[in-house]
Structure 1
Amino acid sequence: MKEKSSKYELVVGLEVHVQLATESKLFASDKNSFGDAPNTNVSPITLAHPGTLPKPNKKAIEYAIKMGLACNCEIAKVTSFDRKNYFYPDLPKGYQTTQDNQPICIGGYLDVKSGESMRRIDFNRIHVEEDAGKSMHDAAHQGTLLDYNRAGTPLIEMVTEPVISTAEEAGNLITEIRRIVRFLGVGDGNMEEGSLRCDANISLRPKGTQTLGQKVEIKNMNSIRNVQRAIQHEVTRQSHLLDQGKTIKQETRGFDDATGKTTSQRSKEEANDYRYFPCPDLLPIKISDSYLTEIKAMMPKLPAEIVKELQEKFNLTEYDADIIAESEDRADYFFHTAKICSHYKKIANWMIGPIQNYLAEHNQSLAQFSITPEKLHDLIDLVESGKLNYSTASTKVFLDMIANPDKSASETAKDLALFQDNDESGLQKIVDEVLEGMPDKVAAFKKGKKGLMGLFVGEVMKKSRGKANPQITTKLLNETLSK
């Protein structure tokens, strides 16, 4: 939706920080792991002790290139590291090793949904840098506690051009970035753990003008919803100030999740305040054509391509396709099942319904899931052929198959005596018994209370212990009630 402002046009640029899922840190062999005891994943290199020298993590470079390729960037032939100098308690070296002059990925774009159409969001760059540590303010202690486990963790910073025009576009871009990150396996994208964070540069300008307004930066937002809320709040705040003839201060602000408002933190530093200069301890990195070709060969089909294929070839809805394209495991599971099962919509329904719910409840991935595509195909066939009803299949048979992975769907249904009763003569007797026992409801139905059909079907299902075929039951009920 368009942000409410009759006079002004919103302009947003995002800086999305993605923590890379390498085993070790960017310049040291320290473990790269979330949730470990404070200050256990540190070393003299992380803490910048005198005489220590960093060494770049090759896997981090590979991951950065993969993201660049996924975002249609130009990959630099030569990339180098710089020092960004600022002093803060959680930055043990007093500077951050990052990329300023020669980033690894240049330009690029992603197409995201904007209203009913698609909009291209251009990137300025994607560069590699190390994360800082973490400051914790604990009421049980005086002062600030510092955990340097995160210091030196490899990040990519994805910097867009100032071309985003709505909070919706911003949210959709972050959603797509997170999906690609997870799809490629370069990170987990967990915003609640801080492994994907976002800064937003927000400004307003009079409608019809091209000159950018004074920007305000909102730092370290850890949910897509909060990014959108912060943008919407800034539209209201900045337009109010401009209407009063006041100027917008260039500053860094924080977002308060409880109030939905942004608050001033400090005046925004200019780039020259950071005193960037080439890192003297790290040589430039040359990206050879052969190395780039090797990485391109590893690239899977990307989510946007998969969504398109799922809609065009398998006739899935955009909603279903988006969920299945959320990860490579999901897409592979669908495509594998679709090779042997032509009920494409049913495959999607099972994946988005019972399978996804089970995996979420048991904190499992599809790689750990015991029902193979072949077994899912058998289960779907039992339902579609009328041998099982969906309710029984999706609860009793499904769960028993998980508990007994060596058994097929047919074996499971047979052992549990759950096959559907399609015998019309037998079902007719149950239908007659149900209707004879509910004469008042039958009379009400014949007077126009058609909603009672669900009650009759339910009673037949109870008497048949869930074995009655619902379609045949409904047909018999309609025929009997019409007499």
Structure 2
Amino acid sequence: MIEKAPQPIELTDDIIQSYEAVIGLEVHCQLQTNSKLFTQDLNQFGTDPNTNVGPITIALPGTLPKVNKTAVEYAIRLGLACGSSINQYSIFDRKNYFYPDLPKGYQISQDKHPICLQGGVAITAKGADGKVADRFIRFHHIHLEEDAGKSVHEGSDENTFLDYNRAGTPLVEMVSEPDLRSAEETGAFVTEIRRIVRYLGISDGNMEEGSLRADVNVSVRKKGEQALGTKVEIKNMNSIRNMMKAIHFETQRQIEALESGQALIQETRMFNVETGETYGMRVKETMNDYRYFPDPDLTPLVVSDAWLAEIKQAMPALPHELREKFVTQYGIPAYDAAVLTDSKELAAYFEEVCTQTTAYKTVSNWLMGPVKSFLNEHEGDIAQFPLSATKLAELIALSEADLVSHSTAAQKIYPLLLDDPTLDPKEIAQSNNWLQNSNTGELETLIKEVMEAMPDKVSAYRKGKKGLMGLFVGEVMKKSKGSADPKKVNQLLSEML
């Protein structure tokens, strides 16, 4: 009797909601050192193929590796930033596998004695239940290793070209616990990691260039179950948006398979950007894909107490520390603080402006409004913003002193400053007759003229038609040809009416 294949079923929201995804990541981050991890070959992206290679990179016989001290320091910085325990005695291992882009036939990595243990990253994100919540995503460990070369398939339908420039580039691999439960949490997790490595100055975090990429492990299980489901690994995700799409697809694929009676297999899959689907690359027969043993050419890595203390002393302020500082010291909302600490440079610019004014919320509004609009058109780089912190503070001071309205500052003076940052904001306002008139005597005269011209409206206002205030203000502004200070006009009108 021929057994029929399981038939796919239509997934309803109730079925989907009865499962939960369990997600863990292996995040690879290239370190921004001048040279490679075990050789002085140049560590640089974008150079001509096979130009940043030397005898050690291409594994010529008799060559010996020597560890890059700066790369070790960068790994320790990352561990400290994530609250990890620093392993002051770690070992480099040979991870043996054979692939064309691996010139030695093995990769120097760390297996049982990584440089950092545990720790994690705090995130705020939408969970599987759709609610935004604070989560702490744990790391199992962080280890140092060298990157492999790159197989290139462009330019030929038949041949694979090998570029060994990337081989030997120092990497840290952050292995998370399976704590993530949604694509949104995963996106927030990788975003925060990228922010941290940029703040630390250890990597540019550029995912398009492969400086930051991740292997995503996804399984599903019925809600309430403790046992983990069959894990599927999605390799080499170098886009947060695509990573989230891959998780959404893979979660639904696994639920549909289980509901249809199919058995999931442990495998490695790839993500097709065009279709938004994952597809099988290879089946993992066992968990032991590789064979490790200590590298006989490298002595154990020992981090002295003095060196560790020196690295701790030099640690910069981190994103979560600045977010807390901005809320407590400057009194701005948590949302503003999160936006302003998105990059180290933007946070520094905010603080520099705040040294020249106490209108901290106004500074925040400017940076999240007009300044952010400019940055969106210039790849988010505050270094390209033409106004110095002092110049922006001068412009803010004008509106805070009610010398000009906020709309005049933002819509008239600000564009002129962008065109010529050497101009003086107050001189611009004076030369264009944009300064507001706050002279009480002059404004009272204008208000009396308006009230005398509209006695019936004044009477109606005094009988309770308070909505007429806008009419009076508008008439005064017309008489002043727009130069009257609206706040002062409102104040004086309220008193005189």
Q: What TM bracket, shorter-length normalisation?
A: 0.7 to 0.9
Q: Does 1:74 align with 2:90?
A: no
Matches within 5 A, 1:404-483: 404-415=420-431, 418-420=434-436
Give CA deviations for 1:92-117 in whole Å, capped at 9, x if unaligned. 22211111121100011222224333
1:11 maps to which residue? 22
Alpha-carbon offset, residue 25 of structure 1:
1.6
Q: Deviation of residue 80 (structure 1)?
A: 1.8
Residues 3 and 167, structure 1, Cα contact 8 Å, conserved in 2: no
Shift, 1:131, TM fit: 1.4
Deviations 1:382-407 (A, max 9, x none): 11222223344235433444555454
Match of 2:230 in 1: 214
- Equivalent-residue separation in structure 2 for 1:273 and 1:167 (angstroms): 27
Residues 133-152 of structure 1: CA deviation (Å, up to 9, x unaligned): 22222255531222222221
Partner residue of 2:178 out of 151, 155, 162: 162
Which of 191, 194, 198 is the matching residue for 2:214? 198
User: Deviations along 1:33-90, whole A, 9 cap, x unmatched?
Assistant: 2222222222222111222222211111111111101111000011121111222222
Residues 301-320 of structure 1, C-alpha deviations (whole Å, 9 max, x = no match): 22112212222333323321
Please tell me the residue identity of whatever aligns with 2:212: L
With normalisation by structure 2, the TM-score equals: 0.82
Task: Tell me, yes or no, if structure 1 residue 245 matches structure 2 residue 285.
Answer: no
Match of 1:191, SS state, is: coil
C-alpha deviation, 1:427, in angstroms: 9.7
RMSD: 3.7
Q: Where does residue 120 of structure 1 map in the other structure? A: 136
2 CA distance for matches of 1:463 and 1:144?
77
Q: String of CA shifts for 1:202-239, please: whole Å, max 9, x gaps.
A: 11223322221110001111122222222221221111
Picking from 390, 397, 400, the partner of 2:406 is: 390
Matched residue type, 1:106 = L
Question: Quick one: structure 1 residues 4 and 89, their matched pair in 2 at CA, closer, same or farther if it must change by over 3 Å?
Answer: farther
- Which of 33, 46, 49 matches 1:35? 46
Distance (whole Å) between structure 1 residues aligned to residue 80 and residue 479 of structure 2: 60
Partners of 1:283 and 1:176 in 2: how far apart? 34
Deviations 1:147-175 (A, max 9, x none): 22222111111101112222222111111
Instruction: Report if aligned partners of 1:75, 1:106 keep a CA contact under 8 Å in 2.
Output: yes
Question: Which one-letter code corresponds to 1:97 in the other structure?
Answer: I
Q: Is the Cα–Cα contact under 8 Å of residues 5 and 235 in structure 1 kept in the other structure?
A: no
Q: Distance in 1 between matches of 2:238 and 2:246?
A: 12
Q: Distance in 2 between matches of 1:370 and 1:410?
A: 18
1:131 corresponding residue in structure 2? 147
2:343 alignment partner AA = S
For the structure 1 residues 120 and 467, does the alpha-carbon distance in structure 2 shift closer, same or farther, using more than 3 Å as the test?
Answer: same
Which residue does the alignment assign to 2:297?
281
- Once the 2 structures are TM-superposed, how far is the Cα of residue 472 of structure 1 from its aligned partner? 7.2
1:336 is aligned to: 352
- Matched residue, 1:53: 64
* 1:461/1:28 CA distance change after superposition, 3 Å: farther
TM superposition shift of 1:271: 5.0
Alignment partners' CA distance in 1, 2:59 and 2:434: 67
Following superposition, the deviation at residue 462 of structure 1 comes to 11
Distance (whole Å) between structure 2 residues aligned to residue 22 and residue 383 of structure 1: 46
Contact 2:399–2:405, Cα closer than 8 Å, also in 1: yes
Report the counterpart of residue 160 of structure 2 in structure 1. Answer: 144
CA, structure 1 residues 229+414, in 2 after alignment: closer, same or farther (shift >3 Å)? Answer: same
Structure 2 Cα separation of the partners of residues 21 and 415 of structure 1: 50
Tell me: CA distance 1:142–1:462, structure 2 relative to 1, closer, same or farther (3 Å): farther
**Change over 3 Å in CA distance of 1:474–1:117 after alignment to 2:** same
**SS class of match (2:288):** helix
What is residue 338 of structure 2 aligned with on the other side?
Answer: 322
Residues 244, 471 of structure 1: CA spacing in aligned structure 2 closer, same or farther, 3 A cutoff? same
2:3 is matched with: none
Aligned equivalents of 1:96, 1:3: Cα separation in 2: 46
- Show the counterpart of 1:108: 119
**Maintained 8 Å contact 1:324/1:331:** yes
Q: Within 2, Cα distance between the matches of 1:53 and 1:465?
A: 81
The corresponding residue for 2:275 is 259
Rounded Cα–Cα distance in structure 2 between residues aligned with 1:221 and 1:474: 58
Alpha carbons 1:420, 1:467 under 8 Å: kept: yes
Work out whether 1:178 is the aligned partner of 2:189: no
Residue 139 and residue 406 in structure 1: after superposition, are their counterparts in 2 closer, same or farther (change >3 A)? closer
Q: Which runs of 5+ in 2 are unaligned?
A: 1-12, 126-130, 448-468
Distance in 2 separating the partners of 1:475 and 1:34 = 62
Alignment of structure 1 residues 83-102 onto 2, 5 Å = 83-102=94-113
Would you say the 8 A contact 2:140–2:177 is kept in 1?
A: yes
- Percent identical among aligned pairs is 51
1:287 CA drift (Å): 0.6
Matching residue's letter, 1:154 = P
Distance change (3 Å), C-alpha of 1:182 and 1:467 = farther
Structure number with larger C-alpha Rg: 2
Distance 1:141 1:247 in 2: 36
Aligned length: 465
Report the Cα offset of residue 244 of structure 1: 2.4
Change (3 A) 1:29 1:235: same
- 2:307 paired with 1:291: yes
The answer to whether 1:313 aligns with 2:329 is yes
Distance 1:52 1:118, change over 3 A: same
Summarize the Cα distance change of 1:38–1:465 in structure 2 as closer, same or farther, 3 Å threshold.
farther
The answer to which of 32-41 and 17-26 deviates more is 32-41
Range moving further from structure 2, 410-419 or 383-392: 410-419
> Normalized against structure 1, the TM-score is what?
0.84
Tell me the amino acid that sits aligned with residue 46 of structure 1. Answer: T
The alpha-carbon distance between structure 1 residues 326 and 462, as it changes in their structure 2 partners (threshold 3 A), is farther
Q: Which stretch shows the higher mean deviation, 2-11 or 281-290?
A: 2-11
- Counterparts of 1:311 and 1:162, CA distance in 2: 32
Aligned partners of 1:392 and 1:466 also within 8 Å: no
Work out the CA distance in 2 between the residues paired with 1:74 and 1:123.
11
1:322-370, Cα deviation, whole Å (9 max, x unpaired): 1111223222222233233222111112122222333453458445655
Distance (Å, rounded) in 1 between the aligned partners of 2:15 and 2:180? 15
Aligned residue for 1:193, secondary structure, equals: coil
Q: 1:266 to 1:367 in 2, by over 3 A?
A: same
- Paired with 2:280 and 2:477, the residues of 1 have a C-alpha distance of 63
Q: 1:475 to 1:159 in 2, by over 3 A?
A: same
